[in-house]
Amino acid sequence: MEIIHFSAECYPVAKVGGLGDVVGALPKYQNKLNHVAKVVMPAYNTKFLHQNEFEVVYDGWVRLGSANFQARIFREKTNKLGFDLFLVHIADLLDRDKVYGYDDDTERFLAFQIAALDWIAQWEHKPNVIHCHDHHTGLIPFMVGNCHNYRHLSHIPTILTIHNAQYQGQFGWDKLHYLPSFDLRNAYKLDWDNSINPLASAIKCAWRVTTVSPSYLEEISHKANGLESLFAQERGKSVGILNGIDNEVWNPQKDPMLTKGFTVRTVESGKKANKEALCNVFNLDSTKPLYTFIGRLVGEKGADLLPDIFYNALQQSDGEINILVLGSGEPDVEDRLNALTHQFPGRYNAYIGYNEALSHQIYAGADFLLMPSRVEPCGLNQMYALRYGTIPIVRRIGGLKDTVIDIGDGGFGICHDQTNIWDVGHAIGRAFDLFLDQKKVKEIRKFIMTLDHSWDRAAQQYIDVYQM
C-alpha cells in the first residue's frame, strides 16, 4: 500500500510534542512491513531544512481569498528518516521558526493542506490511503470528498488519527471562501457549533477515525471539548490504537545523548552514572530518589498543580527527595516552578524550555517520572520512562491507564485516580516507600525495561484499519 501521512509535526524535522514522535516513527515501521509510507508536512524554518538536501517536486500557487502564495514542495533526497519526506514551503506563511502559535495559523494550515492536495491531484498514480493527523490536516477528508478540484481523488480512503481532541482549529464562516470550490449544500460537513471546525469535519468525513489509545476512545464520548455527541455518533467507524515508541531512537543501550548507555543487565550502574551526571549539573543529591516531570506546562498535563505538589513534597520529605522539571508552557506555571529553585536549592531544580537531549538524560537518570494528566490521549513519556528503567507515577486516564499497572495490582508503576494535590502527593509518598525497598526497585527496573512498546504491532494495526 502507498500511504501518505499529513501532519504538522514529524521528528526530527519539527517536534512540539508526541505528535512529532508518532509521525516520525509510524511511517518508518509501516515501510518495514513492506508498505510505502510517506510524510507531507510544512517546511518551517528549522535546522533540518537547512542541514539537508532537497529537490523541488512541485511548484504552484495557493489562493486564499484575494491573497496568492507561492507553494513549493521539497523532497528530502536521501530517505534518511526511513521514509520519503515532503516539505510544503509557502513563503510568508509556513517558513517561520515556530510550528504553532501565530494569529494566522488558520491560514497557514489551510494553505498547507490545499498546496499538498493540489500536488497530489497532479500525480499520475494515486496513493492507496490518505492518513491525516489532528486538526491541522482535518480539512483534507472534506476537501478530497467534496472539492471540485479533487474530484478524481475522492475514491481514496481517508483516515483521521486524533492525538488530542482538545484542540480543534475552529474558525469563522467568514473564511469559507478560502476553501477550493465545492457544492455549498455540503457545507454542513464543515460545521460544528456554528464554526468551521476542522477536527469535527474530519470526524464526519474521514472513512475511519482512530484515537491514540483504546481508553481515550472510550473517554471522548463523555469528555471531548464539545465534540462528545459527534464521537458517540461516529463510534462505529472509530478504533483505538495504542501508540508505540521508536525503539531505535529510544534505545538506552545506544542512545548517544546519554552519559552512559545501559541494558537490562547493566541498568543499575548505567542509571547511577546518568543520575550522577544529572545531579551534578542541576545541583541535586544523587543518593536521594529523583522525581521528574517532563512536558508541556499546560492544564491538560496537570502542570498548574505542580508548584504546590512539589512544595508540599519537598517540605514534608525533609530533604530526602530531589525533584527536577523539564518543560515549557504557561508563563505563570513557568515562573512558579522557577521560583521553587530558590526556595529549595540542592533539592529542586527546573529547566524551563525545550531540550531534546536533556529529556533523554532525565528518562535515563531519574527514579520516578510524574504524569498527573487531566487529559492524556496516549502519552509517550511513560513509555520512554519504562524503556529507560524509570518508574512512572501516573493518573489512571487515557493511554496512561492502558500502559501502566499499579504495583498494588501486581504491576510496576504507581497510579492514582485524580489530578489533585492530595492524590499526587500520596503517590509521591508511595514512591518514596518503594524507593526504600531497593531490592524491589531493582526488580521493577529490570522488568519494565523488557516491556515491548515498539511500533511493530501498532504499525500493522493501522494497516488493518486501512483495509477494513
**Per the annotation, where are the binding residues?**
15
Residue 379 sits in the site that holds ligand ADP (CB under 6 A): yes
Question: In this chain, which stretch among 18-26, 54-62, 128-136, 169-177 interacts with ligand ADP, using CB under 6 A?
Answer: 18-26
CB neighbourhood size of 189 (10 A): 16
Binding region for ADP-alpha-D-glucose: 15
Residue 243 sits in the site that holds ligand GLC (CB under 6 A): yes
Residue 163 sits in the site that holds ligand GLC (CB under 6 A): yes
**Could you say which of ligand GLC, ligand ADP, none residue 359 binds, taking C-beta under 5 to 8 angstroms by partner kind?**
ligand ADP
**Could you say which of ligand ADP, ligand GLC, none residue 212 binds, taking C-beta under 5 to 8 angstroms by partner kind?**
ligand GLC
Q: Given 3-state DSSP classes, what are the helix, strand and coil percentages for the chain, each rounded to the nearest 5?
A: 45, 20, 35
Q: How far apart (Å, rounded) are the C-alpha atoms in residues 57 and 50?
A: 17
Q: How far apart (Å, rounded) are the C-alpha atoms in residues 301 and 275?
A: 25
Distances (CA, A) of 382 to 21, 67, 94, 379, 419: 14, 45, 32, 7, 16
Write out the H or E segment, with its range, that includes residue 111: helix 105-121
- What do you get for the CA distance between the two ends of the chain, in Å? 14
Question: In this chain, which stretch among 87-95, 279-287, 330-338, 354-362 interacts with ligand ADP, using CB under 6 A?
Answer: 354-362
Residue 372 sits in the site that holds ligand GLC (CB under 6 A): no
DSSP lists the bridge partners of residue 89 as 72
**Could you say which of ligand GLC, ligand ADP, none residue 413 binds, taking C-beta under 5 to 8 angstroms by partner kind?**
none
Q: How far apart (Å, rounded) are the C-alpha atoms in residues 430 and 445?
A: 16
Could you tell me which of 391, 373, 329 has the C-alpha nearest to residue 354?
329
**Cα dihedral sign for 99, 28, 455, 275?**
negative
Q: How far apart (Å, rounded) are the C-alpha atoms in residues 369 and 282?
A: 17
CB of 463 to ligand GLC, least distance (A): 18
Q: Which of residues 262-301 bind ligand ADP (CB under 6 A)?
A: 294-296
Q: How far apart (Å, rounded) are the C-alpha atoms in residues 373 and 394?
A: 8
Distances (CA, A) of 231 to 71, 91, 118, 133, 169: 35, 37, 30, 16, 17
- Smaller CB separation from ligand GLC, 399 or 425: 399
Q: How far apart (Å, rounded) are the C-alpha atoms in residues 163 and 17?
A: 10
Quote the strand ranges of 358-439, DSSP E: 368-371, 391-395, 414-416
Q: By three-state DSSP, how is residue 228 classified?
A: helix
Q: How far apart (Å, rounded) are the C-alpha atoms in residues 130 and 299?
A: 32
CB of 87 to ligand ADP, least distance (A): 21
Residue 17 sits in the site that holds ligand ADP (CB under 6 A): yes
Residue 145 sits in the site that holds ligand ADP (CB under 6 A): no
Q: Which of residues 410-449 bind ligand ADP (CB under 6 A)?
A: none
Residue 19 sits in the site that holds ligand GLC (CB under 6 A): yes
Question: In this chain, which stretch among 14-22, 185-193, 333-341, 454-462 interacts with ligand ADP, using CB under 6 A?
Answer: 14-22
Residue 378 sits in the site that holds ligand GLC (CB under 6 A): yes
- Smaller CB separation from ligand ADP, 242 or 284: 242
- Smaller CB separation from ligand ADP, 12 or 60: 12
Rounded to 10 degrees, the C-alpha dihedral 115/118/124/128 comes to: 80
Report the Cα 85 to chain-centroid distance in Å.
19
Residue 23 sits in the site that holds ligand GLC (CB under 6 A): no
CB of 20 to ligand GLC, least distance (A): 8
Choose, by CB under 6 A, the member of 381, 390, 403, 454 that binds ligand ADP.
381
With CB under 6 A as the rule, give the number of residues binding ligand GLC.
14
Q: By three-state DSSP, how is residue 146 classified?
A: helix
Tell me the residue length of the chain: 468
- Which single residue is written with the C-alpha cell 512536558? 295
CB of 421 to ligand GLC, least distance (A): 22
Question: In this chain, which stretch among 96-104, 189-197, 268-276, 349-357 interacts with ligand ADP, using CB under 6 A?
Answer: 349-357
With CB under 6 A as the rule, give the number of residues binding ligand ADP.
18
CB of 340 to ligand ADP, least distance (A): 17
**Could you say which of ligand ADP, ligand GLC, none residue 381 binds, taking C-beta under 5 to 8 angstroms by partner kind?**
ligand ADP
DSSP 50: H
CB of 373 to ligand GLC, least distance (A): 8
Residues in Cβ contact with 398 at an 8 Å cutoff, skipping those fewer than 6 apart = 213, 215, 216, 219, 373, 375, 376, 377, 378, 379
Residue 17 sits in the site that holds ligand GLC (CB under 6 A): yes
Distances (CA, A) of 105 to 24, 134, 136: 22, 14, 9
- Smaller CB separation from ligand GLC, 39 or 73: 39
Question: In this chain, which stretch among 23-31, 104-112, 325-333, 457-465 interacts with ligand ADP, using CB under 6 A?
Answer: 325-333
Site map (CB under 6 A) of ligand GLC, residues 183-212, x = contact? -----------------------------x
Q: Which residues bind ligand ADP (CB under 6 A)?
A: 17-19, 21, 294-296, 326-328, 354-356, 359, 378-381
Q: Which residues bind ligand GLC (CB under 6 A)?
A: 17-19, 22, 163-164, 212, 243, 376-380, 399
